[in-house]
Amino acid sequence: MSGDPLSRLEIAASRPMRRRGVERHNLLLDATERLLSENSNEDVSLAQIAEAADVPLASVYHFFPNRNAAFVALAMRFNEEIYRLSITPLTDPVPQTWQELLDMKHTRAAAFQNSRPAALRLFLGAGVSVAVRNADLSGNTRIARSRERLFDAYFHMPYIPEFIERLEIAGASMDGIWALSYGRHGRITDEYRREATASAIDYLRRFLPEFLPRKQVTQRALDRIYIPLDELSDNPFATE
């Protein structure tokens, strides 16, 4: 191994601290999620996060200068979980139409958010901060870019100008109906989920033909669906 031996030792010694830092960070996010599952944003403080995580308050300030910073970090973690779910291949059954593909993906996403009340509150609640909203939009952009590749993996696609933006708009219309469902029922109901998917499909019908020929799905096509977060040039958190 090349390089200064002392530097290598210092790097090795710092790894456990970095690992402990990641573990502490996740512990605090776990506590934040538990609190948000049962309380509104305004009712959660850094002191409560510290108490729920059983750590000193000073340790919370080391990671989060205020509660909104904790909410943004939690939103980013939810974004990653939702993104991983969004790029999971559809195999049982394999969608035969693009409309079925969207319905299957939306069903899975709604089930995830319904299972995580804090995610519902952060993304669909009325008291969402600008920073959390920006984190949500960044996640939606990443999903739209991967969804374009998902369509291409399953179907023979015609050229559609600005297709990624069209997918983002369709996703935004879905989110708006989900937010209405959350405001009225505290969850995404099956009825509102179906209405949201119908709205997204109706919008995309302006650009997509009703029928797209199916492709034989290949592993190569599936592998290219994933987009690393740091490849988003408009990601406001890429350098943090």
Report how far Cα 39 is from the mean position of its chain's Cα atoms.
21
pLDDT in tens, 124-149: 987 777 888 888 888 999 999 999 99
pLDDT in tens, 201-228: 999 999 999 999 999 999 999 999 999 9
- Judged by phi (left if over 0) then psi (alpha if -120 to 50, else beta), residue 162 lies in left
> What tokens were used for 146?
């991967």
Secondary structure of residue 198 in the 3-state scheme: helix
pLDDT (0 to 100) of residue 125? 87
Q: In sequence order, what DSSP letters do the residues of 85-124 get, joined into one string?
A: HHTS---TTPPSSHHHHHHHHHHHHHHHHHH-HHHHHHHH
pLDDT in tens, 6-47: 344 333 333 444 888 889 999 999 999 999 999 988 889 999
Contact (Cβ atoms closer than 8 angstroms) between residue 37 and residue 117? yes
Beta bridge partners of 80: none
Radius of gyration of the chain (CA): 21
Domains of the chain: 1-65 (1.10.10.60), 67-231 (1.10.357)
- pTM for this entry: 0.83
Cα–Cα dist 31/106, whole Å: 28
User: Would you say residue 180 has pLDDT above 80?
Assistant: yes
Backbone angles phi, psi at 186, to 5 degrees: 75, 10
pLDDT (0 to 100) of residue 192? 98
Report how far Cα 140 is from the mean position of its chain's Cα atoms.
7
pLDDT (0 to 100) of residue 233? 57
232 burial type by CB count under 10 A (0-12 exposed, 13-18 middle, 19+ buried): middle
pLDDT in tens, 44-94: 999 999 999 999 999 999 999 999 999 999 999 999 999 999 999 988 899
